[in-house]
């Protein structure tokens, strides 16, 4: 998968209502969404010295984060993902995990990973051994996705961002979650070679500029 362009905006609930209406007029919805939305839960990894956290905070041009993710509490579709950034462009690599495999990684039972046959699982294993990557924070939020075929555009509205003090209950949809402090609505726009003007116009807000934003960084306020 090639690197893609990506914009992120922190917006208000009022702005979200306005942009939602514009996007509904020009975009399609994600086939996996129910009533136009779904719940996302991710478990993020970092080193003992918080390399991913500080690389993001310091705006390091080339950086990466590992996470495990599933949707709507359904454990039949779990993905290991590596998010990479380079010079403002983004890339995501994925590998499928079973619930048992995801729990094993969360618990630190790693020996099976090199024999998994999946390059990304093997890469995480190597970095958990050599860089001491470990689960750090659960991030949970509601996402409204919109798609536009020209330019392979995907626009998302993310809100109700919540987190958890521990990581062992990652696969328990009922584990207690806390609202992330001062969490905004996050508007994300991703595209390949070009961004059609109809989408550019739909996401424009007066005085609002694209900026770096990380839900992982936000949720690390709890530890």
Note the pLDDT tens digit of each residue in 152-204.
999 999 999 999 877 888 999 888 899 998 899 999 999 998 999 999 999 99
Of 55-64, 107-116, 134-143, 149-158, least confident by mean pLDDT is 55-64
Mean pLDDT of the region 141-153: 96
Chain segment 55-94, per-residue pLDDT in tens: 988 888 899 999 999 999 999 999 999 999 988 899 999 9
Q: Are 43 and 167 in contact (CB under 8 A)?
A: yes
Highest mean pLDDT among 99-108, 162-171, 211-220: 99-108
In this prediction, residue 148 has a pLDDT band, given cuts at 50, 70 and 90, of very high
Q: Is the pLDDT of residue 100 over 90?
A: yes
| Mean of per-residue pLDDT scores for the chain | 93
pLDDT at 124 over 90: yes
Give the per-residue pLDDT at 161.
96
User: Do 113 and 125 meet the contact criterion of CB atoms below 8 Å apart?
Assistant: yes
Phi, psi for 180 (deg, rounded to 5): -65, 145
From the list 188, 178, 190, the residue with the least C-alpha distance to 214 is 188
pLDDT average, residue stretch 85-113: 95
- Which is more confident, 88 or 215? 215
Q: How far apart are the first and last CA of the chain?
A: 33
Q: Going by C-beta distance under 8 Å and a sequence separation of 6 or more, which residues neighbour residue 16?
A: 157, 159, 185, 187
Identify the CA nearest to 154 among candidates 189, 185, 195: 189
High-pLDDT (> 70) share of the chain, %: 99
What local confidence, expressed as pLDDT, does residue 13 receive? 93
pLDDT of amino acid 223: 59
């Amino acid at each position: 998968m090639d690197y893609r362009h990506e914009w992120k905006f922190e917006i208000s609930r009022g702005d979200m209502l306005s942009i939602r209406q514009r996007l509904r007029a020009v975009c399609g919805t994600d086939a996996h969404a129910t009533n136009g939305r779904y719940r996302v839960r991710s478990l993020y990894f970092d080193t003992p010295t918080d390399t991913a956290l500080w690389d993001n905070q310091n705006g390091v041009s080339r950086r990466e984060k590992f996470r495990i993710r599933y949707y709507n509490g359904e454990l039949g579709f779990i993905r290991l993902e590596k998010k990479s950034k380079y010079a403002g462009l983004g890339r995501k690599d994925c590998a499928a995990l079973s619930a048992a495999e995801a729990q094993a990684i969360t618990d630190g039972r790693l020996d099976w990973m090199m024999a998994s046959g999946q390059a990304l699982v093997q890469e995480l294993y190597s970095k958990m051994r050599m860089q001491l990557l470990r689960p750090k924070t659960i991030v949970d939020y509601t996402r409204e996705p919109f798609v536009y075929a020209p330019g392979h555009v995907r626009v998302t509205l993310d809100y109700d961002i919540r987190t958890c003090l521990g990581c062992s209950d990652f696969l328990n949809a009922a584990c207690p979650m806390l609202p992330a402090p001062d969490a905004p609505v996050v508007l994300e726009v991703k595209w390949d070679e070009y961004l059609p003007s109809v989408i550019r116009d739909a996401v424009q807000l007066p005085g609002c500029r694209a900026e770096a934003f990380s839900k992982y960084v936000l949720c690390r306020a709890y530890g």
